Amino acid sequence: MDFRTLFEPKTMAVVGLSLSNERHPANIIYNKNYFRYPVKVFGVNPKGGTYHKEKIYTSISEIPEKIDLAIIAVRSEHVPGVLRECIDSWVGGAVVISGGFAETGRYDLRRQFEEIAAEADFPVIGPNCLGIFSPGKVDSLFLPSERMVRPEPGNVALVSQSGGILVDQMVKFAGQGIGLSRAVSIGNKAAVGELELFKYLARDEKTDVIAFYVEGFGPGEGREFVKAAGRSPKPVIIMKAGKSAAGIRAVSSHTASIAGDYDVFSSVMRQFGIVEAKDEYEMVSFCESLSCYPGGIDGRVGIVTASGGHGAMAVDTCEASGLVVPQFSEEVQERIRGRLSGSVQPIASLGNPIDLTGSARDDDFVIAAGELSRLPDIDCVIMLLLPYIPEVTSDVGARLSQVYQEEGKPIVAYVPHVEKYRMIIEGFQLNNVPVSDSIDGAILMVEAMKRCRPC
């Protein structure tokens, strides 16, 4: 299947446009794309008429131009007929946001949907889904524009069975400064599922990290997906629902998915080097980390801090996460000490973590980060920055990012995320260095890189 016309359409038909209800999902989608995106939009309603002084067509076949993407928002019993019309009119693909299929017991409609799409090899997202968001290209999510939170364009693709989870992740991405390449709500995935989208995203030049929210797989789907994802040239992250008996029931009623045995699922993810996020917080941390550093590491960490307490907490969390915090030799410690500022030299603790104390300056952090980045037995450097200590400036993020640019060894930073420290945070983010607002989050970012390596 070719998904290019779904993510970057030049023409779009919105089927089910209402002539009386401006808040109808079809109208919201029509208006967003008509006013905000570089796609030519056509409205379809059997009654015809006009909308925003534009002609409303009675059917897709009546539209005088070839349609790349059809958005279908009609009652479920009418969907099979609209799909057949799309295929007969050579439409490039469709998104069906209509519900009322297998999740409500209408297995007959589900079977018709599947058979029509399969026979024509026609790419259809849905049914019972929120839609597609491709920054700068198209937005078929039926959410009012004024309520949407849109991340900046970036290199992470999100695929979710749940529209609500997808939107939540987009909000978190925007807050954390993570850029988005594609976002897809697949709903009941009657025709297109995770495997088909993975194959497309694995070769999509705009995407470097592929993240999934999964509720379950149909018979045989999970095995094929894992085999393909395990060979992926790009990091793959999965967050799964349906871990408990009650969760499995909820998943089944939501999207009619087969949740399967969670312990087996989790074990297989580790075996194939697919990164499993246990919750939304891990998902955001993993996406930010791997969008900057897609390669795997062994997990040997150097820690630099200005607070002994922060350093001790970081060591405990690293050890609990399976990361190694090796002690530095006397030779390494003395080499670092000899380059530090005079006020820090006699009081710094340099064994790992490196505690530069509250007297540290920007130069001290830069020196420590550079020395650790050149050590062959350190895979990643964690910088625990306390921007309220007197001699740290707003330039420290950009300066430490330069160390990464020069040495090529991953650096992950912790900085409290408040507006007062925005320039420090942006100094990292604008230079492709991930920043967390907690120590645990910074260590999760390192853990994601380690988990990228198959067992």
The CATH number given to whatever domain includes residue 406 is 3.40.50.261
Domains: count for the chain: 3
Orientation of helix 439-451 relative to helix 280-292, angle to 10°? 60
Residue whose tokens read 């990012």: 401
* E strands present in 297-349: 301-305
431 in a domain, yes or no? yes
Say what the pLDDT of residue 71 is.
98
Same domain, 366 and 310: yes
Give me the domain span that covers residue 267.
Answer: 149-292
Q: For residues 418 and 388, what is the distance between their CA atoms, to the nearest angstrom?
A: 12
Q: For residues 379 and 53, what is the distance between their CA atoms, to the nearest angstrom?
A: 61
Q: Average pLDDT across each block of 10 residues of the chain; the chain has 455 residues. List them in order.
A: 92 96 95 96 96 95 97 95 97 94 83 94 95 96 91 97 95 94 95 95 96 89 89 94 54 46 81 91 96 93 97 97 97 97 96 97 98 97 95 96 97 93 94 96 96 70
Q: For residues 347 and 361, what is the distance between their CA atoms, to the nearest angstrom?
A: 14
Residue pair 332/414 in contact by the 8 Å Cβ criterion: no
141 in a domain, yes or no? no
Q: Is 454 helix (H, G, I), strand (E, B) or coil?
A: coil
Say what the pLDDT of residue 454 is.
61
Quick one: which of 72, 121, 120 has its CA closest to 100?
A: 72
* Helical spans, DSSP H, in 8-57: 25-36
Say what the pLDDT of residue 242 is.
64
Say what the pLDDT of residue 173 is.
95
* CATH, residue 118: 3.40.50.720
Quick one: which of 348, 160, 131, 347 has its CA closest to 237?
A: 160
Same domain, 281 and 307: no
279 in a domain, yes or no? yes
Quick one: which of 306, 290, 309, 320 has its CA closest to 380?
A: 290
Say what the pLDDT of residue 250 is.
46
- In terms of Cβ atoms closer than 10 Å to its own Cβ (0-12, 13-18, 19+), residue 321 is middle
Number of neighbouring beta carbons within 10 Å of residue 46: 12
Say what the pLDDT of residue 104 is.
80
Same domain, 118 and 49: yes
Which of 292, 319, 352 marks a domain boundary? Answer: 292
Same domain, 161 and 177: yes
User: What's the sign of the alpha-carbon dihedral 277, 278, 279, 282?
Assistant: negative
Q: For residues 211 and 51, what is the distance between their CA atoms, to the nearest angstrom?
A: 38
Which of 264, 292, 320 marks a domain boundary? Answer: 292
Beta-bridge mates of residue 384: 305, 414
Quick one: which of 379, 404, 385, 276 has its CA closest to 324?
A: 379
46: preceding bond cis by omega (within 30 degrees): no
Which of 242, 271, 292 marks a domain boundary? Answer: 292
Q: For residues 190 and 65, what is the distance between their CA atoms, to the nearest angstrom?
A: 28
Same domain, 86 and 220: no
* Helical spans, DSSP H, in 133-179: 163-176
